């Protein structure tokens, strides 16, 4: 059945859900840390148990990615995130500094609006729900139109489990009518306290322009540099693992490989032996025709598809074991389509004279749609690693690890997160991997530890104030002497 006035119905639904979430959050905020932790634990467990079913729903509905990898992402978003946040103090008194006499009290922000993309729908919803409730907030999902069913089911499961464990109904909600108007109403409503936006640049900008505080995640045009001291075979293996994970739908996946001329042949041979296919001649034009939209940008039809599927779409023949399509480039920008973020198993390939030139190329790529996000370097030269770290405009520089896995904290010591801040240079309010600690306000109680009141010394004697006697000064004489001096000075000159 076709819905008439879909935009108006979406706006009304947003308002109704905000009211429901606001009332639920007030009740949730009365529960202590222990009770909230019990609820969050139950939510994580049910999400983990349902990981396979939710992954299947996501693949069927969106046509993006791999079923097996989406299971892993759901499991990571549930139990790996839960284990990290389990001991966090997020409710009531969270810290006391007895020396400085400061007491810190966590207060929830209130109702959180969460924009959820189609590339990582169920895992992102699980993650955002867990961190929202851990910090005492309720949450409303605004799903991508092509992922409404799987995100709605995720929200239903989590809310149902939370209520079963003592939370008020309405702590986890999802809009069922997805329109720009409804999302705009959700983001700008006076009773929504914070937006967590994950998705395209336009959506993130809209979140920041809404007037509501927001945590946004921009695009990740991630460069991967293979430096001459790297273990080349291992570096290539990790890049392919990362780039093919869920068919490249994680925004932290590598988009271009940069290496040095002295090892270029070895790097290319390593890619070819491990399933990389270097496009040549007419193949490049054919892949570009399906990879990009007529007016620029990646074609949604190739997002989350396998290398073999994309090759078939382009009408080219590649070996059956092809995992990644690679195209050598010598520039960055619209004239070089492989230099952009592609969200699929497609890589641009660059070779530079030395690491300094490679460093410059990485910065150029980051400026073309990836500022503030992530970069990965494969090297065993700590000096060069440090030099890269000092110069790169990114929030995460990952070393000798798959970028998709390292950036979200799966293979590194970073906070496990599916919302990766890009810092102010990337248009984001934070450069952190977002956690529950970003969803609380901290009230600080501070006692006086040093006096601001000066105490004057007491005295019984009245000091006499001596004032110069000006009655005996001959003003006319002084004036005459000054004029004579000026006259003499003028004659001398």
Long-range contact set of residues 280-289: C-beta below 8 Å, sequence gap at least 24: 283/314, 283/316, 284/327, 286/314, 286/315, 286/316, 287/311, 287/314, 287/316, 287/325, 287/327, 287/346, 288/337, 288/338, 289/314
Q: Show Cβ contacts of residue 193 under 8 Å, excluding neighbours closer than 6 positions.
A: 109, 110, 111, 112, 137, 212, 213
Given 150, 174, 251, 422, the catalytic residue? 251
Residue with tokens 């640049």: 201
Contact between 176 and 13 (Cβ < 8 Å): yes
Phi then psi dihedrals of residue 44, to 5 deg: -65, -40
Q: What Å distances lie between residue 121 and 171, 405, 413, 436, CA to CA?
A: 19, 17, 24, 19
DSSP-based three-state secondary structure for 335: coil
Closest Cα partner for 337 from 306, 368, 363, 377? 368
Contact between 228 and 263 (Cβ < 8 Å): yes
Report the chain's C-alpha Rg in angstroms.
31
Structure tokens belonging to residue 413: 């010591």
Contact between 171 and 114 (Cβ < 8 Å): no
Residue with tokens 């004057």: 456
Closest Cα partner for 46 from 193, 184, 154, 175? 154
Would you tell me the crossing angle of helices 121-134 and 148-164 to the nearest 10 degrees? 30
Listing DSSP states for 356-385 in one string gives HHHHHHHHHHHHTTTTEEEEEEE-S-HHHH
- Annotated active-site residue 251? The verdict is yes
Residues acting as catalytic residues:
251
């Amino acid at each position: 059945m076709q819905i008439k006035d879909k935009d108006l119905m979406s706006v009304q639904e947003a308002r109704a859900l905000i009211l429901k979430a606001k009332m639920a959050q007030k009740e949730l905020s009365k529960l202590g840390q222990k009770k909230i932790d019990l609820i969050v634990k139950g939510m994580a467990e049910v999400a983990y148990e349902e990981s396979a079913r939710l992954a299947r729903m996501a693949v069927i509905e969106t046509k993006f990615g791999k079923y097996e990898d989406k299971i892993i992402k759901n499991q990571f978003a549930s139990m790996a995130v839960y284990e990290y946040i389990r001991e966090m103090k997020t409710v009531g008194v969270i810290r006391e500094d007895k020396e400085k006499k400061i007491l810190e009290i966590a207060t929830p922000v209130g109702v959180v609006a969460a924009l959820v993309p189609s590339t990582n729908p169920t895992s992102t919803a699980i993650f955002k729900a867990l961190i929202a409730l851990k910090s005492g907030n309720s949450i409303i999902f605004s799903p991508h139109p092509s992922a409404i069913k799987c995100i709605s089911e995720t929200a239903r499961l989590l809310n149902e489990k939370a209520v079963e464990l003592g939370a008020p109904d309405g702590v986890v909600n999802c809009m069922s009518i997805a329109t720009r108007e409804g999302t705009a109403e959700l983001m700008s409503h006076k009773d929504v306290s914070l937006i967590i936006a994950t998705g395209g640049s336009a959506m993130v900008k809209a979140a920041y322009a809404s007037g509501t505080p927001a945590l946004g995640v921009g695009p990740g045009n991630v460069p991967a540099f293979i430096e001459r001291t790297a273990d080349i075979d291992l570096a290539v293996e990790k890049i392919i693992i990362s780039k093919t994970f869920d068919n490249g739908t994680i925004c932290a996946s590598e988009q271009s490989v940069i290496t040095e001329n002295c090892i270029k042949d070895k790097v290319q041979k390593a890619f070819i032996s491990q399933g990389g296919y270097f496009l040549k001649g007419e193949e490049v034009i054919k892949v570009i025709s399906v990879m990009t939209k007529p007016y620029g940008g990646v074609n949604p039809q190739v997002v989350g598809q396998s290398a073999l599927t994309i090759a078939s779409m382009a009408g080219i023949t590649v070996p059956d074991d092809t995992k990644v399509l690679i195209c050598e480039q010598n520039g960055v920008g619209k004239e070089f389509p492989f230099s952009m973020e592609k969200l699929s198993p497609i890589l641009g390939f660059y070779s530079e004279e030395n690491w300094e030139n490679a460093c410059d190329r990485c910065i150029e790529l980051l400026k073309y749609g990836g500022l503030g996000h992530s970069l990965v370097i494969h090297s065993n030269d700590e000096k060069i690693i440090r030099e890269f770290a000092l110069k790169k405009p990114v929030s995460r520089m990952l070393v000798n690890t798959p970028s998709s896995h390292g950036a979200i904290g799966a293979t590194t010591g970073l906070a496990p997160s599916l919302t990766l801040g890009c810092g102010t240079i990337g248009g984001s309010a934070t450069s952190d991997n977002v956690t529950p600690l970003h969803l609380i306000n901290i009230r600080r109680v501070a006692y006086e530890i040093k006096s601001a009141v000066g105490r004057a010394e007491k005295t019984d004697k009245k000091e006499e104030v001596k004032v110069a006697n000006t009655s005996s000064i001959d003003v006319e004489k002084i004036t005459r002497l000054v004029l004579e001096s000026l006259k003499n000075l003028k004659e001398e000159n």
